Chain A
Amino acid sequence: MDNDVSDENLMLSYASGNAAAFEVLYVRHKGSVYRYMLNLCRNEAVAEELYQEVWMKLINARESYQVKAKFTTYLYKLAHNQFIDHYRKQNVRIVVDQSVEVEDVEQDHLSKGNPEKQAQTIQTINKLSELIASLPNEQREVFLLREEAGMSVPEIAETLGINQEAAKSRLRYAISKLRAGLSEE
């Protein structure tokens, strides 16, 4: 399948019965959606469950899919709603699993460079993970949509169903906290 084909066309192709189109689409977005959900939930088991449900919803909705917005907006809206629904049903506060980010560090990347720099990078990554986890849910989600889905502020606003100013404000606070946290070393 051609990699230049847009997400929207791939989804339309899958909607018409082309299972290979879905596979291309899945490979493109599986990592970012998973990380979005993992960083949002801060719990691997819950993140896997919600991640699977997001894709199942997309599969079940394929026949009714229409191109009304970018596919990523559609996909992350599903993910956002899934996350919100889950925690509304559970009626629990989000528990932060601090072990996740340490395990998720890519060792290959860290192995490059000298040991001092490796240690500093690991320290930075762990710090960043803690800072992300400490962000309010609204700010964390805006940050993850920007980082994982590569969304612009208007797209983030559309995905979350908020106005652009609110999206921009949340993102501004998130970046400011993260920068401040990282510079506190």
Chain B
Amino acid sequence: MANNEQNDKELNDYLNGNSDVSKAYRASNKTEPAVHLNEKILSAAKESVENTAHKSKPKFHKAPWVKPVSIAAMITLSVSLVVTMQQETGQPLISEPEVEMFDSASVVEDLAMPETILSSDDASVMNEVELKQNKDGRVDVPAPAALGAAADRYRAEEKAEAPKARMKEAPAKKMLLKEKSQRQNEALEERVFADEQIMESAPTGVEFDDVMDMEQARELNLQKDELLKIKALWEEGGHEEAKELFKQFIKDNPDFSEDAIKKFLGEELFVLIKSK
């Protein structure tokens, strides 16, 4: 117990600065670090500050606002480019699905159209379908089954080559193609409308020229029968009745030539009926 009290007293004296131990230690220990250590540490401290100063300089590519601004600039440029192209072409932009639908549908329409309005791109389809032309230029439309098969083949080829083509096509070329397709579509629609009107007035399965020829032939036959009837009546003695019929015939058919009448009545009878 007495020992502990002694230790506590020594400690308190020491802590109050009244210890011989402390005085002896302070008197003896004046050792300092070597000069080269001081220089090394101080230069390291300065270097660290300089390096941090270099690092803290704002670097353009590391600034936090660079990414959002870059994205915004890219979007703005893209939109302005598209709008400019749209204004230059004067055509509204066609979305990708619309273009594909148009291309598929136009194949069938192209097959039904005369060859003259088809573009060179459609030549392969025309060859496959083997459209047959008559001597007078008429086109025999192939059976719907043949059309369907050709169209399916065309679509399959189109789908297979579409990705490659899209990769190669520049945006400007794409716009030109869309424009061309639209013009072609309009031309096809006009042609289809005109043909539909013609077909509505014509008999089914018969060409218009043939109908006209038959009509004329039928009328000619009627006229021939009329003249032969007049001739028979004259020969049977019904002169007055024959003359009345002849006058009526001339009146009804003013364009019928005298030569044609002479051919059917004979020149002598023609002169007699006309003179009396």
A residues whose Cβ falls under 8 Å from a Cβ of B: 14, 17-19, 22-23, 26, 30-31, 34-35, 38-39, 48, 51-52, 55-56, 59-60, 62-63, 101, 104-106, 109, 121, 124-125, 128-129, 132, 146-147, 152-153, 168, 171-173, 175-176, 178-179, 182
Contact = CB atoms under 8 A, between A and B. Distances in A.
Contacts of A129: 28
B42 to A, nearest CB: 6
B160 interface: no
A172 B25 contact: no
Contacts of B46: 19
Interface stretch (B32-40, B115-123, B171-179): B32-40
B101 interface: no
Contacts of B44: 55-56, 59
Nearest to B44: A59
A19, A48, A56, A146: most-surrounded residue (chain B CB, <10 A): A19
B20 interface: yes
B21 A182 contact: yes
A172 B7 contact: yes
Q: A-side binding surface: helix, strand, loop or mixed?
A: helix
A38 B29 CA distance: 11
Q: Is the interface of B mostly helix, strand, loop or mixed?
A: helix
Contacts of B198: none
B257 interface: no
Given A55-B41, A175-B21, A179-B19, A104 B28 contact: yes
A130 B22 CA distance: 15
A129 B242 CA distance: 171
Closest 10 CB pairs of A and B: A125-B28, A106-B30, A104-B31, A34-B33, A22-B45, A19-B46, A172-B11, A55-B41, A178-B21, A19-B49
Interface string B1-31: 0000011101100110001111011111111
A31 B31 contact: yes
Contact of A30 (B6, B14, B32, B49): B32
B48 interface: yes
Nearest to B4: A172
Contacts of A106: 27-28, 30
* Central interface residue in A106, A109, A125, A176, by most chain B CB within 10 Å: A176
Nearest to B53: A17
B87 interface: no
A101 B102 CA distance: 100
A179 B37 contact: no
Given A22-B45, A23-B45, A59-B45, A175 B19 contact: yes
B27 to A, nearest CB: 6
A170 to B, nearest CB: 11
A3 B152 CA distance: 94
Nearest to B46: A19
Given A22-B45, A56-B41, A179-B20, A31 B33 contact: yes
B95 interface: no
Given A38-B31, A104-B29, A14 B24 contact: no
Nearest to B45: A22
Contacts of A121: 27
Contact of B37 (A22, A51, A101): A51
A147 B31 contact: no
A35 B52 CA distance: 31
Nearest to B41: A55
Contacts of A168: 11
B38 to A, nearest CB: 7
Which one of A62, A168, A172 has the highest number of Cβ atoms from chain B below 10 Å of its Cβ?
A172
Contacts of A171: 11, 14
A128 B21 CA distance: 8
Given A34-B31, A34-B32, A172-B10, 5 more contacts: A55-B44, A101-B28, A124-B28, A128-B21, A178-B21
